[in-house]
Amino acid sequence: MMAMMAMMRIVLDFGNTLHKAGIFDGEKLIRLEKYTRLNRPKLNELLTEFPDVKAGIASAVVRYPPGIKKFLQTNLNVFVELTGATPLPLINRYKSPATLGSDRIACAVAASRLFPEDPSLVINTGTCITYDLVTAQNEYLGGAISPGLQMRLKAMHTFTRKLPLVNLQDPDGLIGTTTRESMISGAVYGAAKEVLGTIGAYRKAYPNLQVILSGGDMEYLDKLLKIRIFALPNVVMVGLNYILEYNLQYAK
């Protein structure tokens, strides 16, 4: 059992925007690759570089090439595809687990591992901004989903006649002096105020709440929040690694 638990592992996260592959040595992320599309040759290249990887997990919120699953099942001693039936190291109280995104449950598992004695809220800033709550009793309750920063900018362009398509960047200030500046200010400052308000509401209900901020767009919000939070850029990958570690005990 101990030898199996000490295996080097590969963690795959197929997200809406990027596909990510992480190599873990125990709890340490030693390599992270990001792809617009991960395919079998690229995966084979990574595993060839790390021949000691013997276990892996894949999480997907989008469809990914079926050949990747077969390749991992063939080349690893243990492979876990995260589904609603995968054993988890927490109690899942979500009322519709079949519709729960695997990225959200990975966030929750990471939080429960990092703060086992406190309630915790994970805020993941990707395509959407997700909020996921874990209680001090190790129960995942759920949370919220709202549009991400880039989605807000794209929506303003898509659903109006004259607003341009604007690339995400740091706002020059609170007051935008051009249409582009105004859109960026509205998206970023608006999201920051949403995050602050949500944290405040959760902390009223859970006074000892720990807050984790993560995701590809966290840098735009982190500098505006100015409150006590724990920044963990790759929280989904960390959570998936913990889920894999937990499932290794069931492997034969």
Q: Please report, as a single letter, which amino acid is at residue 50.
A: F
pLDDT of 163-191, one tens digit each? Answer: 999 999 999 999 999 999 999 999 999 99
pLDDT score at 117: 95
Are 21 and 43 spatial neighbours (Cβ–Cβ below 8 Å)? yes
> How many angstroms separate the most distant Cα atoms in the chain?
63
Pairing of strands 78-81, 28-35: unpaired
Question: DSSP label at 6?
Answer: T
pLDDT score at 252: 58
> Region 66-82: what's the mean pLDDT?
92
Q: How confident is the prediction for the chain on average, in pLDDT?
A: 93
pLDDT of 120-158, one tens digit each? Answer: 999 999 999 999 999 999 999 999 999 999 999 999 999
pTM for this one? 0.90
Whole-angstrom CA distances from 159 to 152, 153, 164, 165, 183 are: 11, 10, 11, 11, 13
Q: Which residue has the higher pLDDT, 65 or 243?
A: 243
* Residue 228: band (very low, low, confident or very high) from pLDDT cuts 50, 70, 90: confident
Query: Exactly one of 103, 132, 217, 222 is catalytic; which is it?
Result: 103
Residue 13 bears catalytic tag:
no
Whole-angstrom CA distances from 46 to 13, 30, 31, 43, 102 are: 15, 12, 10, 5, 23
Q: Which residue has the higher pLDDT, 175 or 17?
A: 175
- Residue 2 pLDDT greater than 80, yes or no: no
pLDDT score at 3: 43
